[in-house]
Structure 1
Amino acid sequence: MSQLNSDHPRVAIVTGGSRGIGRQAASRLAAAGFAVVIGYAGNRDLAEAAVKEVTAAGGRAVAAQADVADEQAVAALFGTAESAYGGVDVVVHTAGRMSLSPIADLDLAELDALHRTNIRGTFVVAQQAARKVRPGGAIITFSTSQVGLATPNYGAYNASKGAVEAITLVLARELRGRDVTVNAVAPGPTATDLFLDGKDEETIARLAGLPPLERLGTPEDIAEVVAFLASPAGHWINGQVIRANGGII
C-alpha cells in the first residue's frame, strides 16, 4: 500500500459525512492525509461546514450530494472523487436511517423507506465501490451492535443492518485477488444527534451503563476504528464485523 503524500493523496469517500460519525470519520481520515469527498443527502450547509472543518485543519475535502439508494447519484459521487482527486481508495458508508417501533405497530411505509436507505443504499454504494476502489484500498460499511443485542423496538432497523452485514461479508469474498478489504463497523450506543434524539436522561444513563467501560461511545471512538481499517496497519482485517461498543457483547 502506497504511503500518503501531499501530491498524490489517497482518496476517501464518506457517505453521511456531514454529521455524526460520518463527519468525524471524514475529519479523522483527512488528518491522516486522505483527500475526502463528503457525501450528503440534503443539508448542503452542514456538508459545507464539514468541508471547512477539514480545510481549516490543512486537509483536502469537497462535498457532493447523493441519495445513496439512487445508482446514478452514487455513480456521480464516485465520479466527483475521480475528477477532483484522481480515484478512490477508501469508501466509508455511514449514511443510514433509523426507525424504532414494535414490529406489531410499525407503518410498513416506514419499513420500506428504512430498507431503501439501509439495504438498497448499502448495496448501491458497495456496487460502485467494488468497481472503483483501487488495490490496497478498503470498503467500510456500518451495521449496529443492536443486531446482537436484539432490543425490543429495533426489529426493522436490525433487519436492515443484518442485511448490511450479509452484503459486507459476501463482498469481501467476491473481491478475492483485488487487494481490497471489506469490513463492517457495528457501533453500540454512541452519542450522536441521531442516537440522542427523543431519549430522556434516564434512558441515556441506562444505555451509558451497559458497556463495562460505563459510558456512551463517541463519534471519535468510532472514527478511530474507521481510520485503522483504512490504514496499512488494518489491512489484514478483512471480511469482519467489528463490534465497537465498549464491551457490551
Structure 2
Amino acid sequence: MSAVLITGVGRRRGIGAAIARRLADDGWSLALGYHADYDQRVMHEPSDVELLADELRATGSTVTLVPGDLSDPAVPATVVEQAHRQLGVLDALVMSHCESVDSDYFSTTVDSFDRHYAVNVRAPWLLTRAFAEKAGPDGGVVLALTSDHVAFNLPYGVTKGALDRLVIAGATELADRQIRCNVINPGPIDTGWMDDETRATLGGMTPGGKLGGPETTANLVAWLLSEQGSWINGQRLFSDGGFNPTRV
C-alpha cells in the first residue's frame, strides 16, 4: 500500500482535505500535516482535521496526524520522521500548506515577509530534502501547490514564485533518487473564503464562467501520483479552468 504525507490539511473544506479524501479513495495510507494556530489566525476557523481523520478511518483508510508549525526550521524534518515512523517508507509528499496574509508593498511587515518565506519556501525545501533522504529504492513523487496571485498579496505571491523554482529544480537534483517533482497552480478555489460577489467576479474570468472546487485539484494530484502520470516531471501545471484575470 502506498503512503503519502499531505501538508496543510487543517479544514475539511480545504484543498488539502479534498486531496486526502481522493487519495484515500485510491487506497493510500495518509499522514495529514496541519497547524491549528494558522487556521484560527488566518481563516478564523478552528481546525477540524481530527473529524476528517475519523471520516476517512470510517471508510477503512489508515490515517495518522502530524501537527507542526512549519515556520520553525526544526519542524519539517520532524513531521516527515513522524509520518515515516507511523506509515513506513513514504511514496509521495504533497505540499498544500501555505502562509497567506494579504498585504502590499507598504503594509507588509518584515516579520510577515519572513514568515511567508519560512513557511512557503524554506519549509518545502526542508520537507522535500527529508522526504528524499528517506525515500525507498523506487523513489517517489513531490507535488506542491502554487499561485500567480502577487499584487496586494505580495509576500504570498513572491514566495510562491520561489516555491515554483525550488520544486522544479528538484526534478533535476533528485532524479538520481527516482523522485519526480511538479507544481500545480489550481487558480482561485473557493474553500470558504469567497462571498457571492467574489465568486461571480472570479468565475467570469474563466472561459466557462465558473470556478473549480477543491476536488478538481485533488483529481489532478491523484493522476500525477498514478502510473498514468508517471512521465510528468519538472512541470508547472495549470488546473484553473483557463482562468485569466484580464478576461471581461
Shorter-chain TM range is 0.7 to 0.9
- Alpha-carbon distance in structure 2 between the residues aligned to 1:203 and 1:61: 35
Q: Which residue of 2 aligns with 1:5?
A: none
CA contact (8 A) 2:171 2:181 kept: yes
CA contact (8 A) 1:18 1:50 kept: no
Structure 2 residue 81 is the aligned partner of structure 1 residue 82: no
Q: Which residue of 1 aligns with 2:3?
A: 11
- Rate the CA distance shift 1:101–1:45 in 2: closer, same or farther, 3 A: closer
Q: Which residue of 2 aligns with 1:4?
A: none
CA contact (8 A) 1:27 1:53 kept: no
CA contact (8 A) 1:145 1:245 kept: no
Cα drift, residue 136 of structure 1: 4.5
Cα drift, residue 221 of structure 1: 0.5
Deviations 1:49-104 (A, max 9, x none): 12112111221111111222334322222222222222110000111011222213
**Structure 1 counterpart SS, 2:74:** helix
Listed as ranges, the matches of 1:11-160 within 5 Å are 11-19=3-11, 20-42=14-36, 46-134=48-136, 135-146=138-149, 152-160=151-159
CA contact (8 A) 1:94 1:141 kept: yes
Aligned-partner residue type, residue 145 of structure 2: F
- Alpha-carbon distance in structure 2 between the residues aligned to 1:243 and 1:141: 12
Cα drift, residue 170 of structure 1: 0.8
**% identity of equivalent residues:** 30
Deviations 1:118-149 (A, max 9, x none): 11122221221221233252101111143xxx
Deviates more, 1:79-88 or 1:170-179: 79-88
Cα drift, residue 45 of structure 1: 5.7
- Alpha-carbon distance in structure 2 between the residues aligned to 1:227 and 1:108: 37
Cα drift, residue 47 of structure 1: 2.0
CA contact (8 A) 1:17 1:39 kept: yes
- Alpha-carbon distance in structure 2 between the residues aligned to 1:141 and 1:132: 19
CA contact (8 A) 2:71 2:115 kept: no
State how many pairs are aligned.
233
Listed as ranges, the matches of 1:196-207 within 5 Å are 196=193, 199-207=194-202
CA RMSD across the alignment: 1.8
Cα drift, residue 180 of structure 1: 1.6
Q: Which residue of 2 aligns with 1:175?
A: 174
CA contact (8 A) 1:69 1:122 kept: no
Q: Which residue of 2 aligns with 1:222?
A: 217
Cα drift, residue 117 of structure 1: 1.1
- Alpha-carbon distance in structure 1 between the residues aligned to 2:157 and 2:75: 26
- Alpha-carbon distance in structure 2 between the residues aligned to 1:219 and 1:189: 10
Q: Which residue of 2 aligns with 1:186?
A: 185
- Alpha-carbon distance in structure 1 between the residues aligned to 2:61 and 2:220: 20
Cα drift, residue 240 of structure 1: 0.5
- Alpha-carbon distance in structure 2 between the residues aligned to 1:79 and 1:120: 17
Aligned-partner residue type, residue 82 of structure 2: T
**Structure 2 stretches lacking a partner, 5+ long:** 38-45
- Alpha-carbon distance in structure 1 between the residues aligned to 2:47 and 2:238: 32
